[in-house]
């Protein structure tokens, strides 16, 4: 029997780290086992449905380069893959449960249920099984007359229900502790999560359920549903929790959690895939670099960890830097250009000159990038005028304006002599030797000579390597920027 797994998001919010981890583990498990990965959209909660959330599912996985074998856009022989298009099936099976006496119609009004909740609030007991024992003929008659009703599952009053979880082992629950008679079909004819989820996993021939541990409490209830239908449940593997550094479940309080935020925050998909795959899974004690292709071969359930995983933003940042440096210049340039455009540094579309300038700047910024978003400020001085700076910023430590102007004037004549080789005709070694000699002649340090020059050319005391930066800025602009600095000092 070949493996069939699914990721079953509800389109109610943005894809976040937890969901993406679930999707990736299902995807890698399917690939490694030569099975199928299915995307199913659990969109039966019409109140919380948000079309932007559906688009976000597509965007997120397109960006990550993760595709599904069956599902929306892909099709497949077990479709439709939107639960909202399968309501007839759920209705039919809910009726079947009523027919076999394992489910029943509940006619309680929302007012009654509301009161019940209030009166029981302290006890938290849930539904009181008020309609469980209405004689079936009576219930059918009331329903036929058009009385609004839901279908509930009869949870056995005694005994217990258990299932085996790959990671955790046997999970057993006394039936009396299970949510008393959960709703399966709502009065609007839409199923609840439990009914639709179980029916689809059965008919889509899902073999393994890999999902977050927050779904464990639903496990016994689902087992009871499989039993009621006479179906064999899939195998279960509830994935380790993902926590923030403080041991609380990862949430917005800890930092970005949605994938759009990571994407606009300048992370590369390779870094996300690599890091997220290590949240609760490890190959061995030492290896930590894994490409998508590696994980498609190496992923196994046996290597899942029981312990909760801690989401470490610094570690992800580290991975991001590694993958930025691993990108070819061409690929990195393509990733970076949109960030320059958004920052208003390059045009949309970018001109050929801008493309070339960014490409040429890569060698001096690549090493320093932690995020793609770092790039615009690093290269701004190449694309635009130098950002405004104050005269104070030009001054080396313990030096006044006059002295600095004198140094900068010397620097200028050294770089652009009336005759002889200028800065751009010399090698970096020759230039460095010349600046050192100048510093010595002026009785100051090399830093005091290069500092004002750096601010003049780049507008900042921190910049990419100075000589390379000057070469990219070019002769005329460099000379003009030194002039401008001298005017400011005067």
Which residue lies nearer to ligand GLU by CB, 43 or 181?
Answer: 43
- 130: partner contacted, choices ligand GLU, Zn ion, none (Cβ within 5-8 A by kind): Zn ion
Left if phi > 0, otherwise alpha if psi is -120 to 50, otherwise beta: which for 420?
Answer: left
Q: Does an H or E element contain 160, and which?
A: strand 160-165
Q: Smallest distance, Å, CB 209 to ligand GLU?
A: 6
Which residue lies nearer to Zn ion by CB, 134 or 334?
Answer: 134
Which is the catalytic residue, given 252, 297, 356, 384? 252
Q: Smallest distance, Å, CB 180 to Zn ion?
A: 11
Q: Token match 């000159």: residue?
A: 353
- The residue range among 106-114, 219-227, 331-339, 461-469 that interacts with Zn ion, by the rule CB under 5 A, is 106-114
Which residue lies nearer to ligand GLU by CB, 42 or 70?
Answer: 42
334, two tokens: 């393509």
- 396: partner contacted, choices Zn ion, ligand GLU, none (Cβ within 5-8 A by kind): none
Cβ atoms of 35 and 5 within 8 Å: the answer is: yes
- 106: partner contacted, choices Zn ion, ligand GLU, none (Cβ within 5-8 A by kind): Zn ion
Helix (H, G, I), strand (E, B) or coil at 267: coil
Q: Does an H or E element contain 105, and which?
A: strand 103-106
Q: Smallest distance, Å, CB 130 to Zn ion?
A: 4
Q: Cα(56)–Cα(366) distance, rounded to whole angstroms?
A: 30
Quick one: which of 20, 106, 382, 466 contacts Zn ion (CB under 5 A)? 106
Which residue lies nearer to Zn ion by CB, 97 or 358?
Answer: 97
Phi, psi of 166 (to 5 degrees): -50, -40
Q: Would you tell me how many other CB atoms lie within 10 Å of the CB of residue 384? A: 13
Number of separate helices (H) and strands (E) present in the chain: 20, 11
**Is 252 considered catalytic here?**
yes
Q: Is 131 in the site for Zn ion (CB under 5 A)?
A: yes
Which residue lies nearer to Zn ion by CB, 148 or 289?
Answer: 148
Cβ atoms of 208 and 1 within 8 Å: the answer is: no
- 149: partner contacted, choices ligand GLU, Zn ion, none (Cβ within 5-8 A by kind): none
Phi, psi of 130 (to 5 degrees): -50, -40
- 108: partner contacted, choices ligand GLU, Zn ion, none (Cβ within 5-8 A by kind): Zn ion
Q: Could you list the residues that contact ligand GLU (CB under 6 A)? A: 8-10, 42, 197, 211, 215
Q: Cα(317)–Cα(321) distance, rounded to whole angstroms?
A: 6
Question: How many of the chain's residues bind Zn ion (CB under 5 A)?
Answer: 4
Which residue lies nearer to Zn ion by CB, 135 or 420?
Answer: 135
Q: Cα(135)–Cα(92) distance, rounded to whole angstroms?
A: 21
124, two tokens: 């938290």
- The residue range among 85-93, 102-110, 459-467, 470-478 that interacts with Zn ion, by the rule CB under 5 A, is 102-110
Question: b/e per residue, 114-137, with b = 16+ CB within 10 A?
Answer: eebeeeeeeeeeebeeebeeeeee
Cβ atoms of 67 and 39 within 8 Å: the answer is: no
- The residue range among 23-31, 128-136, 238-246, 363-371 that interacts with Zn ion, by the rule CB under 5 A, is 128-136
Q: Is 108 in the site for Zn ion (CB under 5 A)?
A: yes
- Any idea which residues carry the catalytic annotation? 252
Site of interaction with Zn ion (CB under 5 A): 106, 108, 130-131
């Amino acid at each position: 029997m070949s493996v069939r797994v699914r990721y079953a998001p509800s389109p109610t919010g943005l894809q976040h780290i937890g969901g993406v981890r679930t999707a990736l583990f299902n995807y890698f498990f399917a690939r490694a086992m030569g099975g199928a990965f299915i995307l199913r959209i659990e969109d039966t909660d019409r109140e919380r449905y948000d079309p932007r959330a559906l688009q976000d599912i597509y965007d997120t996985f397109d960006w990550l380069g993760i595709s599904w074998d069956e599902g929306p856009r892909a099709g497949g022989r077990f479709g439709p893959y939107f639960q909202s298009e399968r309501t007839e099936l759920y209705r039919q099976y809910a009726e079947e449960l009523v027919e076999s006496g394992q489910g029943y119609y509940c006619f309680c009004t929302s007012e009654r249920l509301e009161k019940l909740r209030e009166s029981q609030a302290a006890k938290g007991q849930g539904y009181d099984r008020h309609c469980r024992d209405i004689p079936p003929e009576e219930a059918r008659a009331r329903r036929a007359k058009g009385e609004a009703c839901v279908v509930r599952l009869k949870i056995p009053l005694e005994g217990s229900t258990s299932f085996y979880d790959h990671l955790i082992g046997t999970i057993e629950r006394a039936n009396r502790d299970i949510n008393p008679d959960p709703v399966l079909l709502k009065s609007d004819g839409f199923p609840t999560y439990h009914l639709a989820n179980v029916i689809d996993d059965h008919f889509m021939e899902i073999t393994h359920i890999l999902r977050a541990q927050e779904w464990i409490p639903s496990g016994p209830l689902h087992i009871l549903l499989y039993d009621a239908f006479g179906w064999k449940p899939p195998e279960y593997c509830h994935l380790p929790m993902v926590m923030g550094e403080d041991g609380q479940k990862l949430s917005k309080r800890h930092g970005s959690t949605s994938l759009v935020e990571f994407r606009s925050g300048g992370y590369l998909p390779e870094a996300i895939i690599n890091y997220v795959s290590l949240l609760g899974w490890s190959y061995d004690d030492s290896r930590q670099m894994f490409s998508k292709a590696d994980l498609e071969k190496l992923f196994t359930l046996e290597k899942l960890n029981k312990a909760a995983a801690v989401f470490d933003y610094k570690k992800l940042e580290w991975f991001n830097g590694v993958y930025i440096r691993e990108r070819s210049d061409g690929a990195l340039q393509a990733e970076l250009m949109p960030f320059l455009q958004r920052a208003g540094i390059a045009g949309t579309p970018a001109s050929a000159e801008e493309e070339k300038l960014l490409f040429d700047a890569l060698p001096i910024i690549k090493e320093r990038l932690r995020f793609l978003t770092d790039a615009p400020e690093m290269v701004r001085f190449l694309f635009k005028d130098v950002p405004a700076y104050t005269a104070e910023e030009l001054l080396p430590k313990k030096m006044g304006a006059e002295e600095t102007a004198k140094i900068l004037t010397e620097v200028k004549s050294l770089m652009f002599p009336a005759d002889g080789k200028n800065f751009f005709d010399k090698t970096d070694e020759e230039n460095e030797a010349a600046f050192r000699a100048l510093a010595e002649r002026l009785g100051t340090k090399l830093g005091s000579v290069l500092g004002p020059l750096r601010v003049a050319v780049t507008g900042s005391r921190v910049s990419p390597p100075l000589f390379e930066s000057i070469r990219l800025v070019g002769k005329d602009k460099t000379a003009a920027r030194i002039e401008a600095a001298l005017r400011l000092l005067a």
